Chains A and B, each alone.
Chain A
Amino acid sequence: MLSFLARRCVALVATLLGAALVIFVALEVLPGDPAAVTLGLNAAPEALAALRLEMGLDKPAPVRFLAWISGILTGDLGLSYTYRVPVAQLIGERMAVTLPLALAAIILATSIGVPLGLLAAANHNRPTDAAVMIFAQLGLAVPNFWFGLLLVLLFAIGLGWFPAGGFPGWQAGPAAAVKALLLPAFALALPQAAILARVTRSSMLDTLQEDFVRTARAKGLAEPVTVVRHALRNALIPVVTIMGLQFSVLIAGAIIIENVFALPGLGRLVFQSITQHDLIVVKDLVMLFAGLAILVNFAVELVYGLIDPRLREAS
């Protein structure tokens, strides 16, 4: 087990370094001078030179790459070109919106998707099943930004129950903050719920065909007990795997949803910094997302290794 862990760790560090290099090079070859973007069409050359010096753009690329990596390791992510504040602070502020948003979306998606999937499987080939499948098809087909606009139209403009967008900040009280996050969380959760409903249904249907379920039924267990106690636990394994994989989809969805709802989250920050050519923020954020995805994969692999001894030996 220890050598398995060691090998996995080496692979993890190599993947992270590789990702960092790809990100750095990709942004390096992008045309455009961040200083020129900041100072605009009328800037004097002296002012541009002064700003480039201040931004540290005068040093050669390898030096800047090493400085960036060592900065990440020490928690210093640099200074945003446009906002002129530490990137770590920017990311921290935005996390306070995106994390609760993503969490709420996962909770909503799970509490809608899983029960619906179970309901459909329990009523296989009956109208309830068909209705759930139509919902899942629609949920997948409807783009979440459009669904978000519909929610705004109905609940913000029509009924006036929720704000149409924006985030008052947690200092305005948890009630106001939750109110601001509810509609976007719903918009973000819909496609996830649809996917989870489908996966839960098919996984449950597969499990209900298994021998141990037949045995449970044969020994005279009531159907609900069979389904919940024996089938559900086994059927949930692929569901949990899918939920883990949804992470990157949630991040991508957050970029769009945060724009539709004018929420100051990480997704909006990526979008803003790309359009404003704030490359240092883009670099740090892409690295953060890549790092999170790599770490999630790493954790999944470790769990597989724990579950299945064959994987430990084979690798």
Chain B
Amino acid sequence: MTTRRDLLAGAGAAALAAQLPLVALAQAKDSVIIAMTLEPPTLDPTSGAAQAIREVTLQNIFEGLVKMDRTGKIVPCLAESWEIAPDNVTYSFKLRRGATFHDGTPFSSEQVRFSFERAVAPESTNAQRQLFTPITEITTPDPGTVVIRLKQPTATFLYGLAWGDAVIVAPASAANNKTNPIGTGPFKFVRWNRGDRLEFERFDGYWGEKPTLAKATFRFIADPQAQVAALRAGDVHAQTNLSAPEAVPQLKADPKLKVSFGKTEGEVILAINNAKAPFNDLRVRQAIAHVLDRKTIALGVYGFDVDLIGSHFSPLHPAYIDLTATYPVDIPKAKALLAAAGFPNGFSCTLKLPPPTYARRSGEIIAALLAQIGINASIEPLEFPQWLERVFRGKDFDLSVIAHTEPLDINIYARDDYYFQYKNPEFKALMAKIDVTLDEGQRNEMYRQAQRILARDAVNGFLFILPKITVTAAGLDGMWTDWPLPITPLAEVRWR
């Protein structure tokens, strides 16, 4: 609601703005408060898988040799450039000159070696240790050069170096990074009021372009209603990913706010235990695929359209192909397939659901859809640790709903002992080939083939991509609206 006083105030501000030089205005607004749902448990992305750690620290406090830009492309960061030798296993990185850590330690090749060796050490608690296991040797011919030799050609090696698990840390500060993070990024750590907020300020010794923001605060608001209230009251200037999709119309109607819908790397799947009868029968899985009405499920969960998928791949990747038509919704055909598999009257099974809203809501709709062909799926809600223990580790499940949020993780279908227990030598061979194919065009062709295999085999029910609902104050620009990597880099965030 706009009152007369607001109008007058607005007019006054406009008059002032017309007189003041632009610089003064920019200085008046050089801080931002950004809300996110989960609080990071620590601030060290090299020990612990929590996404929230990466979301606040990566590209803000910490940097890797390379980084991912907002379109998902790998670009230089602490490495200015690199060369891959003709043997395809030797990477020479030319390092950035003049970069320093926030405590003044100059950045050099020694710290790169230290960081990567630390990540594979026996006592390492790095959650993505497999990124570094292909490394056989790291040499540092001079402070500005690092040469890394791999066991075998590994196409995803560079890609992995952009992740939070591969950031460069310094020997003197690494042990304290959990509570007092010291990196080379454009922002440095100021204060953490645990449970409420985290404060960063611009690092004036940054090697690259200086951010326009002098100060940035992350606030942690878990309750969806509280998120909406904080945005509407103007307490926060942005929410990186809103947890209350039902509040979208209300927020869109607010002229002070801007809502954008983006894509992520989070594939939501109806996980199927491929090793357990009757789900080991392709016809049963095909029957399930024929009843999964993705549009209805996604609409039921969010109330607006999100990106639907027909295989385990995100539309953010250039190799993505739309396979949602592989098994179109067709109830009679699903019934026939089920009858051919020996279940003319369907069967009973369990559907174990972890706590996230998308899982609980889609689970209920899926159970109703499956009932159409006589599959009686009884829902079992689980807490996340229980889900990890029983479904993920114990493989004690029939059906489940979960989002796989790691970028480019289609290779999990080649793992022998993964929880949905898909075993296909053809797919495994293809993944092995992708690993050693360095040509991007060829590799993308193979990724397309891999998507088709998974869609054809109806390994899991492929549902939709987790949306990113970014809400920002109307004058705030530069927030990431897609999440090729779930992070919130502040360097490009600015007030208009």
| A, B: real partners | yes
- The answer to whether A47 touches B222, judged by C-beta atoms less than 8 angstroms apart, is no
In the assembled complex, A36 has its CB within 8 A of some CB on chain B: yes
- The answer to whether B127 touches A42, judged by C-beta atoms less than 8 angstroms apart, is yes
Known: A40-B50, A149-B225, A163-B235. Contact between A32 and B388, CB under 8 A?
yes
Segment of A267-275, A292-300, A302-310 engaged in the interface with chain B: A267-275
Q: Tell me the minimal C-beta distance from A244 to chain B in angstroms.
A: 28
Alpha-carbon distance between A83 and B388 when the two chains are bound, in angstroms: 20
Q: Residues of A contacting B409 with CB < 8 Å?
A: 42
Segment of A11-19, A221-229, A255-263 engaged in the interface with chain B: A255-263
In the assembled complex, B39 has its CB within 8 A of some CB on chain A: yes
Q: When A and B form their complex, which 7 residue pairs have the shortest distance between CB atoms, in order from nearest?
A: A264-B195, A32-B385, A40-B49, A82-B41, A164-B229, A164-B233, A264-B196
Q: What string of 1s and 0s marks CB contacts (under 8 Å) between A150-189 and chain B? A: 0011001100100111111100000000000000000000
In the assembled complex, B404 has its CB within 8 A of some CB on chain A: yes
Q: Residues of A contacting B426 with CB < 8 Å?
A: none
In the assembled complex, A93 has its CB within 8 A of some CB on chain B: yes
- The answer to whether A41 touches B49, judged by C-beta atoms less than 8 angstroms apart, is yes
Q: Residues of A contacting B393 with CB < 8 Å?
A: 33, 36
Q: Tell me the minimal C-beta distance from B49 to chain A in angstroms.
A: 3
Q: Residues of B contacting A43 with CB < 8 Å?
A: 49, 127, 129
**Which of B130, B383, B406, B409 gathers most chain A CB within 10 Å?**
B383
Known: A39-B48, A272-B39, A272-B195. Contact between A165 and B125, CB under 8 A?
no
In the assembled complex, A94 has its CB within 8 A of some CB on chain B: yes
Q: Residues of A contacting B220 with CB < 8 Å?
A: 262
- The answer to whether B196 touches A51, judged by C-beta atoms less than 8 angstroms apart, is no
- The answer to whether A51 touches B125, judged by C-beta atoms less than 8 angstroms apart, is yes
Q: Residues of A contacting B193 with CB < 8 Å?
A: 93, 167, 169, 264
In the assembled complex, B324 has its CB within 8 A of some CB on chain A: no
Residues of A within 8 A of B (CB): 30-34, 36-44, 46-47, 50-51, 54, 82-85, 90, 93-94, 149, 152-153, 156-157, 160, 163-169, 259-265, 268-269, 272, 275-277
- The answer to whether A50 touches B230, judged by C-beta atoms less than 8 angstroms apart, is no
- The answer to whether A37 touches B196, judged by C-beta atoms less than 8 angstroms apart, is no
Alpha-carbon distance between A269 and B229 when the two chains are bound, in angstroms: 21
Q: Which B residues between 384 and 434 are near A, CB-CB below 8 angstroms?
A: 384-386, 388-390, 392-393, 404, 406, 409
Of the A-B pairs whose beta carbons lie under 8 Å apart in the complex, a sample of 5, sorted by A's number, is: A40-B48, A149-B229, A156-B229, A165-B235, A169-B197
Alpha-carbon distance between A264 and B192 when the two chains are bound, in angstroms: 12
- The answer to whether A94 touches B386, judged by C-beta atoms less than 8 angstroms apart, is no
A-B contacts besides A32-B389, A38-B48, A82-B50, 5 pairs, CB < 8 Å: A42-B128, A42-B409, A156-B233, A160-B234, A275-B384
Known: A33-B389, A38-B49, A44-B130. Contact between A84 and B233, CB under 8 A?
no
Alpha-carbon distance between A259 and B196 when the two chains are bound, in angstroms: 11
- The answer to whether A262 touches B223, judged by C-beta atoms less than 8 angstroms apart, is yes
Interface of B is mostly: loop
- The answer to whether B390 touches A269, judged by C-beta atoms less than 8 angstroms apart, is no
Alpha-carbon distance between A157 and B194 when the two chains are bound, in angstroms: 25
Known: A39-B127, A82-B42. Contact between A165 and B229, CB under 8 A?
yes
Alpha-carbon distance between A54 and B384 when the two chains are bound, in angstroms: 22
Alpha-carbon distance between A94 and B193 when the two chains are bound, in angstroms: 10
- The answer to whether A31 touches B129, judged by C-beta atoms less than 8 angstroms apart, is no
- The answer to whether A268 touches B195, judged by C-beta atoms less than 8 angstroms apart, is yes
Alpha-carbon distance between A260 and B224 when the two chains are bound, in angstroms: 9
Residue of B nearest to A278 (CB): B41
Q: Residues of B contacting A84 with CB < 8 Å?
A: 41-42, 178-179
Q: Residues of A contacting B195 with CB < 8 Å?
A: 93-94, 263-265, 268-269, 272
Q: Which B residues between 199 and 235 are near A, CB-CB below 8 angstroms?
A: 219-223, 225-226, 229-230, 232-235
When the two chains form the complex, which single residue of B49, B179, B221 contacts A165, counting CB atoms closer than 8 Å?
Answer: B221
Alpha-carbon distance between A242 and B457 when the two chains are bound, in angstroms: 65
When the two chains form the complex, which single residue of B39, B226, B383, B404 contacts A164, counting CB atoms closer than 8 Å?
Answer: B226
- The answer to whether B223 touches A259, judged by C-beta atoms less than 8 angstroms apart, is yes
Q: Tell me the minimal C-beta distance from B168 to chain A in angstroms.
A: 20
- The answer to whether B48 touches A90, judged by C-beta atoms less than 8 angstroms apart, is no
Residue of A nearest to B42 (CB): A84
- The answer to whether A260 touches B225, judged by C-beta atoms less than 8 angstroms apart, is yes
